[in-house]
Amino acid sequence: MYTLAKACSHHNHGHCISDAIGAARQLCDERGVRLTSLREQVLELVWQSHKPLGAYTLMDMLAEASTRQIAPPTVYRALDFLLEEGLIHRINSLNAFIGCPSPSQKHQSHFLICQSCKVAVELDSSQLNQSINDAAAKSGFSVSSHSIEINGICPSCQKNKNEIDL
């Protein structure tokens, strides 16, 4: 039996956003780095759903919420900061960004990406990390980082499809 990831269930994203913003403020204070209002806005937009968002989508969303035009380099600088601080992850195959639920812990990025609803769930698996490191070591390779992106259908979409098929 599987455990339905919170991202794949209907829930109040407001809690995700407030938790992420609170953690970001605390981490930035501890690290002595500045979480500007724009960086915070971008982080909030990234967390508004569990669907990866591209830089230009974020730029359009920021423009809707503001009276001033936001230039692409400004958004990319905010994203670079959030990535560097571990507050978000980049999903390479989608050229998009998603919030990190564990920004205080350095970890590898593994994602389960639903092809139906577009939700991405971060997969935390020490077994997977160990298997990758073991396989690399057997080849004489020293791993500095890795990212895995697995595409499929989430439990919620599978359930919905099964209900429709009945």
Give me the mean pLDDT over the 32-61 stretch.
94
* H/E element, 63: helix 55-65
d(CA 102, CA 55): 22
**Tokens coding 130:** 């160990």
CA-to-CA distance for 86 and 27, rounded, in angstroms? 10
**pLDDT tens figures, 70-86:** 888 999 999 999 999 99
Residue 58, domain member (yes or no): yes
Q: How far apart are CA 10 and CA 52, in angstroms?
A: 17
Query: Is residue 2 assigned to a domain?
Result: no
Smallest Cα–Cα separation from 112: which of 8, 31, 33?
8
Q: Residue 147 falls within a domain, yes or no? A: yes
Say how far apart CA 45 and CA 94 lie, in whole Å. Answer: 17
**Domain that residue 36 falls in:** 7-165
Q: Answer yes or no: is pLDDT of 58 > 60.
A: yes
Does 133 map to a domain? Answer: yes
Strand order from edge to edge, sheet including 109-114:
120-122, 109-114, 147-152
Number of domains in the chain: 1
Note whether residue 151 is domain-resident. Answer: yes
Whether the pLDDT of residue 8 is over 60: the answer is: no
Model confidence, pTM = 0.84
Residue 1 lies in a domain: no
Is 61 a member of any domain? yes
CATH code of the domain containing 41: 1.10.10.10
Lowest average pLDDT, out of 1-5, 6-10, 31-35, 92-96, goes to 1-5
DSSP designation for 24: H
